[in-house]
Amino acid sequence: MKPFLDKVDERLGDRLESVLCAHHRRRLRKLGWGDVLEPGGAEDRLGGRAAVRAGNHVEVLVDGEEALPSIEAAIRRATSHVHIANWHASADFRLTREPGALTLRELLAETAARGVEVRVLLWAGPPLPAFQPTRGLAKAEQRKFTDGSAVRCVLDSRERTMHCHHEKLVVVDDAVAFAGGVDFTALEGDRHDSPAHPPRSIGWHDLVSRLEGPVVADVAGHFRARWTEVAGEQLPAPAVPEPAGDTAVQLLRTVPDGTYGFAPKGEFTILDGYLRALRSARRLIYLENQFLWSPEIAEVLLDKLRTPPDDRFRVVLLLPRKPSNGADTTRGQLGRLIDADDGHGRLLATTISAHDGDSAAPVYVHAKLGIVDDEWLTLGSANLNEHSLFNDTEVNIATDDRELVRTTRLRLWAEHLGRPISEVAGDPADVVDRLWRPLAEEQAERERRGERRTHRLVLLPGVSRRAGRLQGPLRGLLVDG
C-alpha cells in the first residue's frame, strides 16, 4: 500500500506544483516580469533589472555576536539620521550583552535626543491574530518606542493577504547600511549567538552585510520610498556616497505588485538573481536558508543534479532541523532532490546543533545565503519559498567579488565543520566528500543508535523520498494571490 500511496502523492504533487508554477508565470508575464522565469542570461550573474553599483566595501557579519554590536556602533556614530526597517522590533531588545547595555528603545531615544532623526518602519502584523507578531503586539511596541522620545515609529499594514514585510535594514546617515536576516527581537528565538554556538535553549545562526559606498544610496532609497508612502513624510533623495572599495553590488528586492505606488507592478529581482546564478552553476551550489520549498528554485536544482555540469559538481544545503513552519514542504522538496541525485553523492542536506560535553541543543538556521562556484554570493532577508520570492517585501544584496565570496564560504564551512580554515580551503568537492559527508553521516548514525552525538553537523533528519510532497504546492496555491 505504501508504494501506491507514495506514487499517488508524487503524481498529485507534480501536478499541483505545475499549476503553481503556471500561475506564477502568468502573474509575472501580466506584470511585465515574465522574463525572470525564462532561461537565458545565466552567465550574466549580476544582470537583470537591478542596477550594479561599483566601488563598494562589503563585510559579511556572521551571527549575532558580530552583527549586532556593529549595528549598535554605527547607530551611536550617527550625526544626521538612523532609518530602520524590520519585520518586528522589541523595545527592550539589547544589541549587545555588555554590562549596562541600553535597550533598543533607550539607544534610539538617546540618539534622537542628540538631534539625530530616528525613523523605524515595522510590519503591522497580520489582520487576524493567527501568528506572531500580532497587531496588538506591534502597536504596543510602537508606543514603547515613541512615548517620551523623539523617535518616529510607523507600522506598515500594506501587506498581501497572509504575507508580511520581512526585510531587515538599517541605514545610518546614508553613509553605511546593513542588510541581512537579523530581527531586533527575541520573538521566536534569541538572536544573540556566536560561531561557537554554545548550548542554550535554541541557538541562532544568521548573517548580515555591512555596506559602504554607492550601493548605500539604493538601500536608503528603498527605505525612503516605503516610508514616504506609509508615513506620508517626504524625505530628501539620498546622496550617492563616494566609492569605498572595489566590490560591485546589486540591491535585489521583492516588492509585491499592488502594494506600493512606487512599484505598482512589483519587483522580483531576488528571484531573478537566484535563478540566474543557480542556472550558471558549474561546480558548487551552497545554500543556507530557513526554508527550501520554492518549486522554481527546486526545478533548477533538480536539473543540475540530473544532468550535472561537472563530475565534481556538488550541492550542499544547510537548513534548520525544524523550521518555524514549512518543515514538511522543505522535506518534500528534499525528497525530490534525493531522487534526482540517485545515489551519486552530489547532494548533501545538513543541519547543525550545539554541543558541550553531555549538553546539546538545536541551532536554528535563520541565515539566507546563496553561493555559486565561489563567484557569486547573495545574502539578505529572503527565504527560498513563495512568500519571499513573490509576496513579502524582502531585500538582499548580491556580489561577484570572488575574494569576498570565497572568504565567506571558507569562514562558514570552518564554523560548521569545526575545523580551521586551512583544512576547508581545498577543492570544494574534496572538502564535501572528505569532511562534510563523513561527519554528517557519522553523527546521523550515532543519533539512529541512540548514542550521544559528538559534532554539531548532522544529516538533516526525517528526509523521506516523498513525505510531505503535497504540502508545498498546496500552501503556495492557498496563500499566493
Strand duo 376-380 + 369-372: pairing: antiparallel
Strand duo 457-459 + 284-288: pairing: unpaired
- Domains of the chain (ranges, CATH numbers): 2-51+267-479 (3.30.870.10), 57-249 (3.30.870.10)
Amino acid residing at 101? A
Predicted pLDDT of residue 189: 87
* β-strand partners of 370: 287, 378
Cell of 254: 521583492
Predicted pLDDT of residue 400: 98
Tell me the pLDDT tens digit for each residue of 383-411.
999 999 999 999 999 999 999 999 999 99
What's the Rg (C-alpha) of the chain? 22
Question: Residue 455's closest CA among 420, 415, 408?
Answer: 415
Cell of 448: 539512529
Question: Which 8-state DSSP code applies to residue 235?
Answer: P
Question: Which 8-state DSSP code applies to residue 393?
Answer: B
Distance (Å, whole) CA 123 – CA 235: 20
Q: Can the peptide bond before residue 129 be classed as cis, meaning omega within 30 degrees of 0?
A: no
Distance (Å, whole) CA 219 – CA 212: 11
- Rounded to two decimals, what is the model's pTM? 0.96
What phi and psi, each to the nearest 5 degrees, are found at residue 153?
Answer: -130, 125
Distance (Å, whole) CA 367 – CA 382: 9
Predicted pLDDT of residue 144: 98
Question: Residue 181's closest CA among 195, 170, 194, 173?
Answer: 170
Cβ neighbours around 115 below 10 Å, total? 10
Tell me the pLDDT tens digit for each residue of 142-186.
999 999 999 999 999 998 878 899 999 999 999 999 999 999 999
Q: What 3-state DSSP class applies to 38?
A: coil
Check: CB of residue 295 under 8 Å from CB of residue 275.
no
Check: CB of residue 171 under 8 Å from CB of residue 220.
yes
Segments of the chain with pLDDT less than 50? 464-467
